[in-house]
């Protein structure tokens, strides 16, 4: 075997491996300079260096003065009659020395002046740099929060703004309300957005800080343990994963086990798991499900979206809990007619379990609380059961026969799948859903795999966005409702809302035009960003579901009163009681004035809790303006065609 004389490479640690390069020796001067440079950023080291410099210079100047004093020519006074004397006097005054002594004294003064300028400049520069760093740190939001009793919001999304608006209303009677927002967004950006989108927050003070919400060390700056409640927003595409990590980070730094944590989650299993693992300290709000449910109901029941918003916001009437000893031993049906200024919707039993719209004959036991809608908690005043109304004979309820319904969906997203899933639970057999989606936003294959049970037939069309394709889809059948959804996952919220509003305008033009085969139909639209709500009203939808508002209002309500969580869970989940706006003619004849208490009595005979009504006339320009929640029982109401009774009951 011949010897290979070519250059060989050796594996790590093999014999013959080249030696590692030796470290270069660092000189003493370099080490001193290195340590000096590193220490200059510390205030203590800088002060020490300045003090040493002054001591050394003082010794040096003593020697200089002695040397100059020994040189006789330098101690000869200047001639005051000469032009140079006048010039030199002016020159030294400008420098701040102000001396016309002998040359020796002036040289010493000049050296002192130069030393003073150098040291003063260094000190001023150091202080200026320190102030600049402090201001920059404040602008970056890196400083600690010293507030206590504040509401802490972790994460940043569009829901922040309606949450702040609601908290400002809810805390109007609080002396110094504070909200701290801690998120990965730059503080300057958060402050600018808040100032432009919610400028009128009253006395609510908003403090913003920047940091990693999943990092316990960062979270320490937010004073987590002193917060009265913590809101964790689903702020990015990672969704539940980031929220779960944030919950764990909060638990790591929060010494107060009683602090309520409201976490926005999508997955029901994750929500249940995290609530169980934290022994109920974390209250999960599944905003996606709430939005889907309200959108589904709004497509079937005119005015429901407006009713839900009215019930969730802090202005007007809200949900309260009250001890009413006078009702102990009476039935839930009695409670419905026992308050003139409050609308009862449920009971919290003696064991703390919430029952929304329980059976009419269920007894109210000792230790129970009434759940009611009222203007304020002190307005839940027991006025006695209205026997004059309660004992009236009410005709038996005849359920109406429901006919198959036909819905047209324009636009598609994961929200669309959830909405149709909700609709499938109560649409009559033989109903149809037709989905029209632009192929550039939704893959045709995604629409082919849609199945929602045997009650409804789902068809789809992938289109390019041409108006003729929209006309063909809308004219193919007489639809009961047209639901326009935003392309949530495919494009930005701004683009999705713009597309939705454009489609609304197109549909209204098609409704008004003649000869195209498109019949006027009730229009329901989903708006993702509440800022676009006013613009969307110009495009004229019969009902709008403003997504970020719904989620934000629910989160704000629960953050202020955690006891509301099971109430809203029951109202917004697929099972149990729900808010409905039913046609008024299902209860009473049209055109005849009736006392609201009698409507409550009729509703309870149907197994429902009546909480208000909605008039078609009042909602012509704004669906919310026709809603009247919790009117006095003695108020008179004259039902008209298109009006609805707002009830809590089964679908």
- Of 67-81, 305-319, 620-634, the one with minimum mean pLDDT is 67-81
Tokens standing for 237? 């595409």
- Mean pLDDT calculated for residue range 222-246: 86
* Maximum mean pLDDT: which of 60-69, 116-125, 347-356: 347-356
Cβ atoms < 10 Å from Cβ of 499: 21
Mean pLDDT over residues 52-72, rounded?
82
How are beta strands 578-583 and 644-649 bridged, if at all?
Answer: antiparallel
The chain-wide mean pLDDT, for the chain, equals 85
Pairing verdict, β 318-322 and 369-374: antiparallel
Indicate if the pLDDT at residue 231 is higher than 90.
Answer: yes
Residues whose CB falls within 8 Å of the CB of residue 629, separated by 6 or more in sequence, listed in order = 307, 310, 311, 316, 317, 343, 373, 611, 612, 646
* DSSP string computed for 253-265: H---TT-EEEEE-
Q: How confident is the model at residue 363 (pLDDT cuts 50, 70, 90)?
A: very high
Range with lowest mean pLDDT among 126-130, 165-169, 325-329, 474-478: 126-130
Q: What pLDDT was estimated at residue 397?
A: 65
Mean pLDDT of 371-391: 89
pLDDT of residue 228: 92
Banded pLDDT at 154 (limits 50, 70, 90) = very high
Question: Which pLDDT belongs to residue 168?
Answer: 93
Lowest mean pLDDT among 188-192, 336-340, 395-399, 596-600: 395-399
pLDDT bucket at 6, cuts 50 / 70 / 90: very low
Pick the more confident residue, 256 or 18: 256
Query: Per-residue pLDDT averaged across 193-199, rounded?
Result: 90
pLDDT for 177-188, tens place per residue?
Answer: 999 999 999 998
Torsion angles phi and psi, residue 612, rounded to 5: 165, -165
Task: Give the Cα separation of 595 and 315 in Å (integer).
Answer: 25
CA–CA distance from 364 to each of 76, 188, 334, 369, 394 (Å)?
Answer: 112, 54, 10, 9, 24
End-to-end CA distance of the chain: 91
Q: Indicate the range of 150-154, 318-322, 540-544 predicted with least confidence.
A: 540-544
Distance CA 417, CA 425 (A): 13
Round the CA-based radius of gyration of the chain to a whole number and report it: 37
Residue 208 has pLDDT above 90, yes or no: yes
Q: What is the pLDDT of residue 139?
A: 67
Quick one: tokens of 83? 């032009």
pLDDT value of position 567: 93
Stretch 554-580: mean pLDDT, rounded?
Answer: 88
Tokens of 527: 């708006």
Instruction: Please determine, for residue 13, whether its predicted confidence score (pLDDT) is greater than 50.
Output: no
Give residue 301's pLDDT. 83
Residue 342, CA distances (Å) to 284, 337, 603 in order: 28, 9, 16
Kind plus residue range of the DSSP H or E element containing 651: none
- Strand, helix or coil for residue 51: helix
Helix axes 287-300, 304-312, angle to 10 degrees: 140
DSSP structure class, residue 508: H
Residue 121 or 24, more confident:
121
Give residues with Cβ within 8 angstroms of 176, minimum separation 6. 203, 205
Q: What sign results for the dihedral spanned by CA atoms 479, 483, 484, 485?
A: negative
- Indicate the pLDDT class of residue 207, thresholds 50, 70 and 90: very high
DSSP SS3 for 317 = coil
- DSSP code, position 607: T
Cβ atoms of 154 and 180 closer than 8 Å: no
Q: Specify the pairing of strand 431-438 against strand 456-463.
A: parallel
In the block, residue with structure tokens 């006097």: 89
Task: Write b or e for each residue in 455-494: b if 16 or more Cβ atoms lie within 10 A of its Cβ, otherwise e.
Answer: ebebebbbbeeeeeebbbbbeeeebbbbbbbbbbebeebe
Quote the pLDDT of residue 14: 46
The per-residue pLDDT for 366 is 92
**Average pLDDT, stretch 263-276?**
89
pLDDT of residue 374 exceeding 60, the answer is: yes
- Work out whether strand 318-322 and strand 343-348 pair parallel, antiparallel, or are unpaired: unpaired
Quick: pLDDT tens for 600-628.
Answer: 999 999 999 999 999 988 776 666 668 89
SS3 145: coil
DSSP 531: G
- Bridge pairing between strands 343-348 and 369-374: antiparallel
Is the pLDDT assigned to residue 7 strictly greater than 50? no
When pLDDT is averaged across residues 306-329 and rounded to a whole number, the result is: 90
- The pLDDT-based confidence of 515 (bands split at 50, 70, 90) is confident
Residue-by-residue DSSP string for 257-314? TT-EEEEE-S-HHHHHHHHHHTTT-EEEE-HHHHHHHHHHHHHHSTTHHHHHHHHHSS
Inter-CA distances, 627 with 215, 305, 309, 317, 337, Å: 45, 10, 10, 12, 21
Please give the average per-residue pLDDT across 641-650, as a whole number: 91
- The one-character DSSP state at 321 is E
Supply the pLDDT for residue 452. Answer: 84
Sort strands 205-210 and 522-527 into parallel, antiparallel or unpaired: unpaired
Query: In the structure, what pLDDT confidence band is assigned to residue 236 with cuts at 50, 70 and 90?
Result: low
At residue 4, the pLDDT reads 46
119 exposed, middle or buried (CB, 10 Å; 0-12, 13-18, 19+)?
Answer: middle
Distances (CA, A) of 456 to 250, 405, 427, 574, 590: 45, 9, 7, 18, 33
* pLDDT tens-digit readout, 458-493: 999 999 988 999 999 999 989 999 999 999 888 988
Which tops the pLDDT comparison, 350 or 88?
Answer: 350
Q: What is the pLDDT confidence band of residue 12, given thresholds at 50, 70 and 90?
A: very low
Q: Is the pLDDT of residue 548 over 80?
A: no
Determine the average pLDDT of the residues in 324-346: 95
What does 437-499 look like in DSSP terms, one character per residue?
A: EETTTS-HHHHHT----SSEEEEEEEE-S-HHHHHHHHHSS--SEEEE---TTTS-HHHHHHH
Checking if the pLDDT of 2 tops 50, the result is: no
Look at 223-232, 539-548, 595-604, 634-643 and tell me which has the smallest mean pLDDT. Answer: 539-548
For residues 33 and 109, what is the distance between their CA atoms, to the nearest angstrom?
A: 31
- Please give the pLDDT value at position 138: 66
3-state secondary structure of 245: helix
Distance of CA 563 to the CA centre of its chain: 20
Is 137 a residue whose pLDDT tops 80? no
Q: In the structure encoding, which two tokens stand for residue 491, read together? A: 């494009």
pLDDT above 90 as % of the chain = 38
The dihedrals phi and psi of 205, each to the nearest 5 degrees, come to -100, 130
Interatomic CA distance for residues 150 and 166, integer angstroms? 15
Phi, psi torsion values for 207, nearest 5 degrees: -115, 125
Average pLDDT over residues 298-304: 82
Q: By C-alpha distance, which of 408, 382, 577 is closest to 479?
A: 408
Confidence of residue 571 (pLDDT cuts 50, 70, 90): confident
Residue found under tokens 């059961």:
385
When pLDDT is averaged across residues 529-553 and rounded to a whole number, the result is 79
* pLDDT tops 80 at residue 98: no
Which of the pair, 38 or 342, is modelled with greater confidence? 342
């Amino acid at each position: 075997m011949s010897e290979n004389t070519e250059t060989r490479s050796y594996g790590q640690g093999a014999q013959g491996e080249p030696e590692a390069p030796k470290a270069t020796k660092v000189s003493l001067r370099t080490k001193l300079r290195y340590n000096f440079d590193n220490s200059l950023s510390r205030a203590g080291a800088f002060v020490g260096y300045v003090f040493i410099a002054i001591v050394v210079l003082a010794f040096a100047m003593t020697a200089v003065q002695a040397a100059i004093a020994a040189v006789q020519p330098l101690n000869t006074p200047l001639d005051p009659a000469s032009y140079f004397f006048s010039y030199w006097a002016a020159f030294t005054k400008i420098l701040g020395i102000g001396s016309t002594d002998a040359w020796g004294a002036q040289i010493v003064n000049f050296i002192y002046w130069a030393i003073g300028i150098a040291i003063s400049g260094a000190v001023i520069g150091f202080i200026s740099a320190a102030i600049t760093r402090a201001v920059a740190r404040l602008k970056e939001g890196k400083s600690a929060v010293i507030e206590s009793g504040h509401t802490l919001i972790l994460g940043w999304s569009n829901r922040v703004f309606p949450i702040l608006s609601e908290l400002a209303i809810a805390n109007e009677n609080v002396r110094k309300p504070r909200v701290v927002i801690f998120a990965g967004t730059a503080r300057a950006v958060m402050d600018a957005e808040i100032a432009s989108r919610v400028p009128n927050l009253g006395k609510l003070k908003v403090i913003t800080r920047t940091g990693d919400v999943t990092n316990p060390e960062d979270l320490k700056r937010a004073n987590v343990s002193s917060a009265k409640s913590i809101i964790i927003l689903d702020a990015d595409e990672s969704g539940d994963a980031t929220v779960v990590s944030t919950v764990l980070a909060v638990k790591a730094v929060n010494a107060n086990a009683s602090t309520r944590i409201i976490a926005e989650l999508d997955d029901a299993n994750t929500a249940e798991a995290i609530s169980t693992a934290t022994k109920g300290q974390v209250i999960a709000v599944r905003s996606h499900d709430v939005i889907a449910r309200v959108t589904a109901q709004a497509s079937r029941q005119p005015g429901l979206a407006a009713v839900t918003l009215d019930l969730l916001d802090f202005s007007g009437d809200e949900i309260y809990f009250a001890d009413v000893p006078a009702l102990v031993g009476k039935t839930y049906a009695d409670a419905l007619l026992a308050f003139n200024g409050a609308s009862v919707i449920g009971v919290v039993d003696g064991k703390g379990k919430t029952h929304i719209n329980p059976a009419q004959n269920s007894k109210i036991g000792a230790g129970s609380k009434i759940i009611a809608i009222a203007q304020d908690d002190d307005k839940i005043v027991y006025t006695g059961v209205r026997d004059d109304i309660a004992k009236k004979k009410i005709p038996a309820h005849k359920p109406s026969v429901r006919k198959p319904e036909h819905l047209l969906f324009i636009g598609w997203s994961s929200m669309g799948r959830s909405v149709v899933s909700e609709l499938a639970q109560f649409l009559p057999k033989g109903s149809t859903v037709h989905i029209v989606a632009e192929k550039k936003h939704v893959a045709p294959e995604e629409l082919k795999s849609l199945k929602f049970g045997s009650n409804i037939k789902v068809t789809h069309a992938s289109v390019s966005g041409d108006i003729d394709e929209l006309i063909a889809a809308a004219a193919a059948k007489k639809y009961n409702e047209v639901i326009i959804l935003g392309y949530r996952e495919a494009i930005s919220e701004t683009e999705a809302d713009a597309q939705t509003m454009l489609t609304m305008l197109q549909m209204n033009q098609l409704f008004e035009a003649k000869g195209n085969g498109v019949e006027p139909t009730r229009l329901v639209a989903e708006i993702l960003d509440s800022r676009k709500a006013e613009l969307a009203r110009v495009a004229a939808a019969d009902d709008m579901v403003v997504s970020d508002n719904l989620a934000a209002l629910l989160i704000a309500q629960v953050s202020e009163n955690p006891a509301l969580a099971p109430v809203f869970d029951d109202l917004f989940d697929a099972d149990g009681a729900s808010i409905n706006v039913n046609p008024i003619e299902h209860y009473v004849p049209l055109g005849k004035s009736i006392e609201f208490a009698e409507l409550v009595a009729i509703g309870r005979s149907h197994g429902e809790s009546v909480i208000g009504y909605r008039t078609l006339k009042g909602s012509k320009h704004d669906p919310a303006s026709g809603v009247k929640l919790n009117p006095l029982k003695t108020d008179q109401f004259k039902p008209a065609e298109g009006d609805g009774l707002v009830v809590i009951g089964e679908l």
